[in-house]
């Protein structure tokens, strides 16, 4: 049997995801796509240069080492930037689909029972703060006395705030004490799909048995529960069977039970029988603690100075998942550029993220507008802003212009076209050329680098 490029790649990835940390997998490998297979060489597309380089240097060899087992023969992997995707915003790298969705798309579909829990999702690794203390306390109470105190435990909150983590922490804790416990962790979509499959194959009795013979049912993301009557009916009975047998049920959702659209009233009320606890966005101190914990877990505390942790915590506010993603991205960037982790490096590595988080207030935006960068650079090089924006190509103007473009890219994260527009309508290839020039100068010209550093510093001061 010969496999296509896509099949080959997905076999390798299936194997890799069993071993790699989830974040790593989601950040770097999930956004890839097999392009072609020629002999024993597979060409794989990554969404941008950075991702391609990173995969090439960090993952190509590792993935190749999986080939004999996964494919039965060795393989060479080449990463390439996907031309089509290059035109898309660079944020691609960050917007990995939620893990639940990713799990669903795993070919073959994992079996319902005995699904692996993430080893990292323990109470020990869960940082408690104001935003999640209620949910965490409830989870701990449930872990101490499953089926006795809060049944069901219903945890809700926005995506990336630790619902799945917390629910699995309960399972870890219980299983540590009682390894025989039959735990079932399942995403609601998978639950529904299995049920529909069972109905079609007329194997619902088996489906029922499987779910009812469990001591601890973790049903993740119940807001995905299908509106169909059959699904809700079946789930209702499963719920009752488990509940009456004194088995613990934990549910998560992105909203409270009463706000799940199309959820039958009898299910809404059952979901509220036990404890309904929400998780909110962590505050600054909490975000710092989470990042520190993450750094400690990964033995990174030495390489990540406190001011960098604070910088990330101050600027990335959307979710814990984003926080973790930022840290990973920053470290990857530092290693690729051979630079120490610093606030200015963080600003550079995370510029898209910072911008997308919309973190700048109107005032900050004003202070740090295109114009203010142009003015600063113009002053530094004793030229004027009109000159920078003009078509003139005298040497006196080109370098400062390129520097201004470079800093605008770094600090404001504008698209190439937008930058071109800010300089008298230059096209994007000119902008690329300019950015590359500055990169080269920064690598070879120390006095020049010092000058740019001082500009960076002034801009950071303006910004904070
Ligand atoms: P959700 O299920 O709410 O979308 P997850 O449980 O998948 O979120 O959490 C997203 C990521 O953030 C996971 O890697 C998780 O370990 C981490 N995380 C969330 N909250 C915390 C916390 N309080 N302490 C440590 N890590 C956390
Ligand atoms: Mg989740």
> Over the stretch 63-106, which tens digit does the pLDDT of each residue have?
999 998 888 889 999 998 876 654 333 322 222 333 333 333 33
pTM: 0.60
Ligand 2 mean position, distance from CA 359 (Å): 24
CA-CA distance, 246 to 134, in Å (whole number)? 23
Q: Is 290 in the pocket of ligand 1 (CB under 6 A)?
A: yes
Q: Whose CA is nearest to atom 9 of ligand 1?
A: 162
Concatenating the DSSP letter of every residue in 297-314 gives: HTT-TTTS-HHHHHHHHH
Sign of the CA dihedral running 427, 429, 430, 436: positive
Ligand 2 mean position, distance from CA 432 (Å): 39
Burial of 18 (0-12, 13-18, 19+ CB in 10 A): exposed
Strand partners, 276: 154
Cis peptide before 152, with omega less than 30 degrees from 0?
A: yes
Q: Is 456 in the pocket of ligand 1 (CB under 6 A)?
A: no
Q: 219, 320, 328: which to mutate for ligand 1, most atoms within 8 A of CB? A: 320
Q: Is 281 in the pocket of ligand 1 (CB under 6 A)?
A: no
Q: How many CA atoms lie within 13 A of 347 on its CB side?
A: 19
Give Cα separations from 261 to 67, 154, 181, 223, 255 (angstroms).
Answer: 45, 16, 33, 8, 10
Sheet holding 76-81, edge to edge: 33-38, 41-46, 76-81
CB 136 within 8 Å of CB 166:
yes
What pLDDT score was predicted for residue 113? 38
Burial of 443 (0-12, 13-18, 19+ CB in 10 A): exposed
What pLDDT score was predicted for residue 84? 61
CA-CA distance, 152 to 139, in Å (whole number)? 11
What pLDDT score was predicted for residue 1? 64
Q: Is 160 in the pocket of ligand 1 (CB under 6 A)?
A: yes
CA-CA distance, 315 to 306, in Å (whole number)? 14
Here the tokens at position 267 are: 């299910």
Q: What stretches in the chain show pLDDT beneath 50? A: 86-114, 358-359, 361-363, 366-367
Q: Is 321 in the pocket of ligand 1 (CB under 6 A)?
A: yes
Which of 338, 308, 340, 353 is closest to 460 using CA atoms? 308
CA-CA distance, 346 to 339, in Å (whole number)? 11
Q: How many CA atoms lie within 13 A of 126 on its CB side?
A: 28
Which of 267, 245, 244 is closest to 257 using CA atoms? 267
Three-class DSSP category at 95 = coil
Atom of ligand 1 nearest to the CA of 99: 7
Three-class DSSP category at 394 = coil
Sequence-distant (6+) residues with CB within 8 A of 73 are: 40, 67
CB 114 within 8 Å of CB 82:
no
Residues whose Cβ atom is located within 5 A of ion ligand 2:
163-164
Provide the 10 A C-beta neighbour count for residue 387.
Answer: 16
What pLDDT score was predicted for residue 137? 92
Q: Is 324 in the pocket of ligand 1 (CB under 6 A)?
A: yes
Q: What is the pLDDT of residues 211-266, one digit of tens each?
A: 888 999 999 999 998 888 888 998 999 999 999 999 999 999 999 999 998 999 99
Supply angle C-alpha 163, 292, 284, rounded to 5. 70
Q: Could you give the domains of the chain?
A: 5-86 (3.30.300.180), 107-279 (3.40.50.300), 284-349 (1.10.8.60), 362-462 (1.10.1750.10)
Averaged confidence pLDDT in the chain: 85
Q: Whose CA is nearest to atom 25 of ligand 1?
A: 126
Instruction: Tell me the backbone φ, ψ of residue 58, rounded to 5 degrees.
Output: -105, -30
CA-CA distance, 322 to 312, in Å (whole number)? 10
Which of 214, 199, 208 is closest to 237 using CA atoms? 208
Ligand 1 mean position, distance from CA 269 (Å): 27
Q: Whose CA is nearest to atom 6 of ligand 1?
A: 162
Q: 128, 161, 167, 317: which to mutate for ligand 1, most atoms within 8 A of CB? A: 161
Sequence-distant (6+) residues with CB within 8 A of 35 are: 5, 43, 44, 45, 80, 82
Here the tokens at position 194 are: 């299995």
Burial of 119 (0-12, 13-18, 19+ CB in 10 A): exposed
Ligand 2 mean position, distance from CA 29 (Å): 20
Atom of ligand 1 nearest to the CA of 320: 12
């Amino acid at each position: 049997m010969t496999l296509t490029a896509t099949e080959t790649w997905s076999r390798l990835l299936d194997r890799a995801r069993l071993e790699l940390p989830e974040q790593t997998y989601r950040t770097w490998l999930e956004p890839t796509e097999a392009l072609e297979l020629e002999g024993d060489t597979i060409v794989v597309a990554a969404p941008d240069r950075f991702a391609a380089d990173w995969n090439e240097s960090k993952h190509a060899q590792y993935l190749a080492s999986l080939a004999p087992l996964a494919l039965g023969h060795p393989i060479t992997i080449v990463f390439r930037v996907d031309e089509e995707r290059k035109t898309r915003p660079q944020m691609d790298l960050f917007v990995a689909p939620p893990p639940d969705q990713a799990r669903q798309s795993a070919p073959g579909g994992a079996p319902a029972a005995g699904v692996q829990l993430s080893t990292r999702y323990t109470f020990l690794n869960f940082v408690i703060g104001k935003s999640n203390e209620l949910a965490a306390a409830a989870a701990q109470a449930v872990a101490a006395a499953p089926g006795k105190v809060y049944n069901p435990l219903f945890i809700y909150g926005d995506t990336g705030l630790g619902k799945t983590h917390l629910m699995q922490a309960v399972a870890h804790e219980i299983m540590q004490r009682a390894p025989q416990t039959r735990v079932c962790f399942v995403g609601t979509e998978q639950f529904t799909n299995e049920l529909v499959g069972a109905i079609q194959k007329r194997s619902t009795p088996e489906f029922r048995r499987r779910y009812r013979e469990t001591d601890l049912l973790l049903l993740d993301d119940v807001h995905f529960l299908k509106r169909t009557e059959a699904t809700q009916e079946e789930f209702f009975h499963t719920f009752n069977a488990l509940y009456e047998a004194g088995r613990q049920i934990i549910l998560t959702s992105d909203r409270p039970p009463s706000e799940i659209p199309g959820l039958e009233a009898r299910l809404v009320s059952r979901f509220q029988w036990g404890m309904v606890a929400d998780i909110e966005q962590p505050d600054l101190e909490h975000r710092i603690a989470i990042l520190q914990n993450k750094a400690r877990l990964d033995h990174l505390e030495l390489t990540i100075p406190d001011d960098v942790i604070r910088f990330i915590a101050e600027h990335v506010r959307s979710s814990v998942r984003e926080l973790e993603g930022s840290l990973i991205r920053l470290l990857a960037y530092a290693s690729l550029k051979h630079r120490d982790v610093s606030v200015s490096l963080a600003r550079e590595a995370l510029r898209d993220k910072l911008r997308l988080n919309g973190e700048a207030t109107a005032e900050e935006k004003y202070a740090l507008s295109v114009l203010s960068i142009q003015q600063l650079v113009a002053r530094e090089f004793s030229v004027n802003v009109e000159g920078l924006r003009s078509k003139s190509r005298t040497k006196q103007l080109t370098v400062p212009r390129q520097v201004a473009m470079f800093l605008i890219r770094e600090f404001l994260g504008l698209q190439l076209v937008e930058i071109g527009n800010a300089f008298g309508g230059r096209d994007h290839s000119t902008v690329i050329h300019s950015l590359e020039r500055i990169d080269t100068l920064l690598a070879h010209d120390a006095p020049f680098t010092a000058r740019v550093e001082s500009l960076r510093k002034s801009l950071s001061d303006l910004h904070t």
